[in-house]
Structure 1
Amino acid sequence: MRIYLTHLLLAIILVNCNSKPENLYESETLIIKQISDHTYQHITYLQTNDYGKVGCNGMIVVDQNEAIVFDTPPDDEASVELINWLGSALGSRVVAVVPTHFHKDCLGGLAAFHQRGIPSIAHNKTIQLLDSAALLPQQGFDNFTNLTFGSQEVVVDYLGAGHTSDNVVAYLPTEQVMFGGCLIKKLKAGKGNLEDADLDEWSTTVENIKEKYPDVKVVIPGHGPSGGQALLDYTIKMFLPKNQSD
């Protein structure tokens, strides 16, 4: 009996570890999934000419009725829906929003946050690359910053160019969850939009992330399902220079 119970317990643990996070909320424009005790993945949609309707990820970190949002939805309507859901479902007030690079899928809904008095923070390179006052983050940082709220501290870090010259990642050390944004590819993804990419540096930048954050357990990419460090390895291999990948 003891052996049977041990095997049963192990099977339950394995099922839970391998299961995908379920949707906490779903509408035509917004999906919310819980990733860990304090982190959530938000998914909204961007209509593009080249790829059609694209699902776009962001991360939310919540603690003590406060929340920080990483990447806005692509438009104001979905951003309002996200802000309202955080207030009604989690009783949480958004205290900051952080776009991880300058493309629309990261900050297209920034005006909705500003209209509610929510401060925005971004890498100074992101601010320099933007020419729209409505989508201009209010505060800048160089390379690295810690955002403290409740009892949590989130690291926002620039480790090099890749998808864009300004892409940053966000990491919650207490739960080892990272938002890689569009710098990190989902498994089996193609290379995607390379219009502003630095193909020479992309692999090196992700290698820098692996070296600096070796304990990361969950990685949320800019598009597609979350996963483990395999997403970092997949991205590194995809963008290795030809003379290194042969």
Structure 2
Amino acid sequence: MKNIIQNILIMFFSFFILSCALQNRAGFKAKKIYKSNTLIITQISENAFIHTSFKKTNDFGNVPCNGLIVKDYNEAIVFDTPTNDESSEELIQWINKKLGAKINAVIPTHFHDDSLGGLMAFHKKNIPSYSYAKTIELAKENNFVIPENSFNDAVILKVGDKDVVAKFFGEGHTKDNVVGYFPGENILFGGCLLKELEAGKGYLGDANVSAWSSTVEKVKKEYPDVKIVVPGHGDYGDGKLLDYTIGLFKGQ
């Protein structure tokens, strides 16, 4: 009888431990882990964090702007800078001190200041920047800070033992918008190419609305296993953000 009870207890605890492990793997609970007046950082997976800064606009008010940090071991890569150098300095300090990570690279996903407005702060820290060739061209035309390293079509960088991808799929929000992908956790950073659910079309001053849907369709086809999708503004979600954006601009 004693042996039967012991076996039952062992089976129970084994099942409990396995259930907890599966739950942690499948359902990470997002949480804000840093907040100031100018910067919010939200952990959305074991190794990915959304950084949110703010941009004052005439048409849309004080707009929250998202970027993404991905980490492996003691290294990090940042997609999009915060909107200005002060918020970028704040982000760099947080990554270095709180995450204990060295920033391998920053990747602005298009030429607007909600993507590279704080780039000088990264350059001052000797953090290399990478962007699509068209982004460098447009940054020069608009007298913005210019990313240091250009790529055509796509670039693959290392963070720890993991790959990080930035790739151009076509025009949409701008002529140069790329997306970032972290295959290790199937996380897509869509930047301003992708919209949060129920969002409007936003700023279209540099957009190609007729190409937008087909561009996002290419992204969807390239990353069929995506689990988390982060837009440039608003709430993150899953693959539904791709479908929503495609529908928003379909037939334009």
Q: What is the TM-score with the length of structure 2 in the denominator?
A: 0.88
Do structure 1's residue 237 and structure 2's residue 247 form an aligned pair? Answer: yes
Partner residue, 2:232: 222
2:67 maps to a residue whose letter is G
Q: Quote the offset at 1:66 in angstroms.
A: 1.2
Q: Quote the offset at 1:70 in angstroms.
A: 0.5
Partner residue, 1:208: 218
Unaligned runs of 5+ in 2: 1-11
2:238 maps to a residue whose letter is G
The structure with the largest alpha-carbon Rg is 2
Partner residue, 2:168: 158
Q: Distance in 2 between matches of 1:222 and 1:237?
A: 18
Q: Quote the offset at 1:133 in angstroms.
A: 6.0
Task: Spell out, residue by residue over 1:113-166, the C-alpha distance to the aligned partner (whole angstroms, 9 max, x if none).
Answer: 001111110000000111266610000000111011311101111101000010
Q: Distance in 2 between matches of 1:117 and 1:18?
A: 33
Alignment map for 1:76-95 (pairs within 5 Å): 76-95=85-104
- 95, 103, 113: which one aligns with 1:104: 113
Q: Distance in 2 between matches of 1:114 and 1:145?
A: 19
Q: Quote the offset at 1:36 in angstroms.
A: 1.4
Task: Spell out, residue by residue over 1:2-31, the C-alpha distance to the aligned partner (whole angstroms, 9 max, x if none).
Answer: 9xx99xx79x959x8495x21011111111
Q: Distance in 1 between matches of 2:174 and 2:68?
A: 19
Q: Distance in 1 between matches of 2:147 and 2:239?
A: 30
Tell whether the 8 Å contact from 1:111 to 1:134 is kept in structure 2 after alignment. no
Partner residue, 2:80: 71
Q: What CA RMSD, in Å, does the superposition of the two structures yield over aligned residues? A: 2.0
Moved over 2 A (4+): 16-19, 131-134
Task: Spell out, residue by residue over 1:20-76, the C-alpha distance to the aligned partner (whole angstroms, 9 max, x if none).
Answer: x21011111111111112111100001111111000000001112111110000100
Aligned residues: 234
Unaligned runs of 5+ in 1: none
Q: Distance in 1 between matches of 2:135 and 2:48?
A: 24
Q: Secondary structure at the match of 1:200?
A: helix
1:178 maps to a residue whose letter is L
Task: Spell out, residue by residue over 1:53-110, the C-alpha distance to the aligned partner (whole angstroms, 9 max, x if none).
Answer: 0000000011121111100001000000000001111111111110000000000000
Tell whether the 8 Å contact from 2:28 to 2:44 is kept in structure 1 after alignment. no
Alignment map for 1:126-137 (pairs within 5 Å): 126-131=135-140, 135-137=145-147
Q: Secondary structure at the match of 1:183?
A: coil
Tell whether the 8 Å contact from 1:184 to 1:232 is kept in structure 2 after alignment. yes
1:146 maps to a residue whose letter is I
Q: What is the TM-score with the length of structure 1 in the denominator?
A: 0.90
Q: Distance in 1 between matches of 2:225 and 2:167?
A: 15
Partner residue, 2:67: 58
- 138, 143, 162: which one aligns with 2:148: 138
Partner residue, 1:169: 179
1:160 maps to a residue whose letter is G
Q: Which moved more, 1:26-35 or 1:231-240?
A: 26-35
1:228 maps to a residue whose letter is D
Q: Distance in 2 between matches of 1:133 and 1:204?
A: 30
Q: Secondary structure at the match of 1:169?
A: strand
- 114, 123, 131: which one aligns with 2:123: 114
Tell whether the 8 Å contact from 2:64 to 2:234 is kept in structure 1 after alignment. yes
Q: Distance in 1 between matches of 2:97 and 2:54?
A: 22
Q: Distance in 1 between matches of 2:51 and 2:73?
A: 19
Q: Quote the offset at 1:175 in angstroms.
A: 0.5
